[in-house]
Amino acid sequence: MLDNLTQRLAKVVKTMRGQARLTEDNISEMLREVRLALLEADVALPVVKDFIAKVREKAVGQDVIGSLTPGQALVGVVHRELTELMGGAQATLNLATQPPAIILMAGLQGAGKTTTVGKLAKMLREKQKKKVLTVSCDVYRPAAIDQLQAVSQQAGAEFFPSTVAQKPIDIANAAIDHARRHYFDVLLVDTAGRLAIDEAMMEEIKALHAAVKPIETLFVVDAMLGQDAVNTARAFNEALPLTGVVLTKLDGDARGGAALSVRHVTGKPIKFTGVGEKLTGLDEFYPDRMASRILGMGDILSLVEEARQNVDEEQARAFAQKLKTGKGFDLNDFKNQISQMRKMGGLSSLMDKMPAQFAQAASQLQGGVEEKAIRRIEGIINSMTPAERAKPELIKASRKRRIATGAGVQVQEVNRLLNQFEQTQKVMKQLSKGGMGKLMRSMKG
Ligand code: GDP
């Protein structure tokens, strides 16, 4: 998938060497290659333009950290932006409702809806131990109903029979009723597709959607259709409140463009990808893993990750040194500590890793609402100039007002932060004079 992107990037990574910063100049060739590769992969032009602009904005001026080459650092940026393009975090299936959780499948004929119902039924049964019922509302093709019966059996899910003489909404309501009375956790509703989008089909599925009120409405689409897949997704998304997309046939020679564009164009996340015709061929969709797969540069990505971690470690070492000597502890350190806290899951999990007094000072600051409070503190410090952070005593009344305005808080809050910082600094000086041991003893006594 997207082999060309991998190859094009690999070539440029090799040639970009020896500069400490990413600049407009040294990234331009690489960005041109990324652009071409994305277009070749059938990613829609507006998506490509947007993507390139974001990568440029994030990359230019960025220091090349540690032992990385500029090319490697840029791959790191591209990876992060690819992940973002596909939605960032993984989007999971939402089943949190009064059972049965109804999942409506929509899509063109041949997209893989029926197959996906079978795959999903199997996954939900085996991985989440759900009791699953399936039903077909495709009253146009008797074969479709039989096909669903067959895959449901294979998946070990119960199949609710229907006939072409019934109306889709009646079938769905009868199935919901059956699911309620027999305590099914999930009801998967397969629907009729057409070869192309047509008004009658859209009206039918809209009416079905309104009648069954599904918690999930999944749009199933064949990845091999490339940009057409994305256009169909857009049309369905305008007609139905989709909650997610299933991209099928990613095993084929799909150029992968659909995976990159769908989220951007519809605003809806890809939740699953289909690979192969067997019922085991359904994967949850992880944007970061897909980005790694597309880039195909596992080795470089782990170098980037390592370099980032090393920087974190260096910061930690420098901070430990300041803690020990009490010298040079400034608002930058304060802020670094606070960002670390956020990364590590908030204050409470960090308390026992910090000197007690520091933790206490920080916890007074937070006043109970930790995540929000931490962000406010960060906001205030972000509004200071580097000089002010290094020498907080510079911050007099007019500067305080400017900082407060910048951070969108009251001046009192800036004062409070500075007071707390000063106290922390004092404690640290005492610590360095008396040493940790003395402080511990005094706390115990
Ligand atoms: P529906 O008309 O949307 O219900 O589509 P079907 O489920 O009948 O699938 C149409 C064809 O695509 C069938 O031959 C399936 O076996 C095949 N198919 C479905 N999903 C996948 C997939 O992820 N990979 C591959 N290779 N084939 C698939």
ipTM value, please give it: 0.98
> Ligand 1, from 137, 149, 277: best to mutate by most atoms within 8 Å of Cβ?
277
| CA-CA-CA-CA torsion sign (145, 150, 151, 152) | positive
Please report, in tens digits, the pLDDT of each residue of the chain (445 residues total).
566 667 777 777 777 666 667 778 778 888 888 888 888 878 888 899 999 999 998 888 777 666 677 777 888 888 899 999 999 988 999 998 899 999 999 999 999 999 999 999 999 999 999 999 999 999 998 899 999 999 999 999 999 999 999 999 999 999 999 999 999 999 999 999 877 778 888 899 999 999 999 999 999 999 888 888 888 999 999 999 999 999 999 886 666 788 888 888 899 999 999 999 999 999 999 998 888 877 776 566 666 676 667 666 666 677 677 766 666 778 877 777 666 666 555 445 444 445 555 555 555 554 445 667 777 888 899 899 888 988 888 899 999 999 999 989 999 999 988 888 887 777 777 666 655 555 455 444 3
Q: Please name which of 44, 363, 364 lies closest in space to residue 225, comparing C-alpha atoms.
A: 44
Is 118 annotated as contributing to ligand binding? no
Three-state secondary-structure class, residue 22:
coil
Could you identify the atom of ligand 1 that is nearest to the CA of residue 117?
A: 7
- 95 assigned ligand-binding residue: no
Specify the pLDDT at position 216. Answer: 97
User: How many angstroms separate the Cα of 158 from the Cα of each of 145, 186, 187, 206?
Assistant: 13, 11, 10, 26
Taking the CA of residue 109 as reference, the ligand 1 atom at the shortest distance is 2
- With a 6 Å cutoff on the Cβ, whether 109 touches ligand 1 is yes
Domain 3-89+296-300 shares a fold with domain 101-285: no
pLDDT of residue 433: 65
Residue 250 marked as a ligand binder: yes
Residue 248 CB less than 6 A away from ligand 1? yes
Residue 299 has what pLDDT? 60
- Paired tokens of 119: 């795959």
Cβ 107 under 6 angstroms from ligand 1? yes
Looking at residue 443, what is its pLDDT?
Answer: 46
Looking from the CA of residue 252, the nearest atom of ligand 1 is 26
Name which of 372, 376, 374, 383 is nearest 405 in CA terms: 383
- With a 6 Å cutoff on the Cβ, whether 266 touches ligand 1 is no
Quick one: 101-285 is in which CATH superfamily? P-loop containing nucleotide triphosphate hydrolases (3.40.50.300)
What is the structure's pLDDT at 91? 92
Q: Is the CB of 112 under 6 A from ligand 1?
A: yes
pLDDT recorded at residue 301? 66
What is the predicted pLDDT for the residue at 387?
A: 86
Reported pTM = 0.70
Residues in the chain: 445
Does the 326-444 domain belong in CATH 3.10.20.600? no
Query: What does the block give as tokens for 339?
Result: 């960002």
Of all atoms in ligand 1, which is nearest to the CA of residue 276? 24
Hunting for tokens 């893989």 — which residue is that?
Answer: 112
DSSP string covering 367-398? TT-HHHHHHHHHHHHHTS-HHHHH-GGG--HH
Task: For residue 248, give the ligand 1 atom closest to its CA.
Answer: 23
Predicted local confidence at residue 434, as pLDDT: 58
Mutate to test the pocket of ligand 1, among 104, 114, 115, 273 (most ligand atoms within 8 A of CB): 115
Helix (H) or strand (E) holding 158: strand 158-160
Phi, psi of 61 (to 5 degrees): 90, -5
Which candidate, 122, 108, 192, places its Cα nearest to that of 158? 122
Domain ranges of the chain: 3-89+296-300, 101-285, 326-444
Its CATH architecture, for the domain 3-89+296-300, is Up-down Bundle (1.20)
Predicted pLDDT of residue 353: 45
Give the whole-angstrom CA distance, residue 125 versus residue 173.
23
Tracing tokens 């509302």 back to the chain, one arrives at: 137
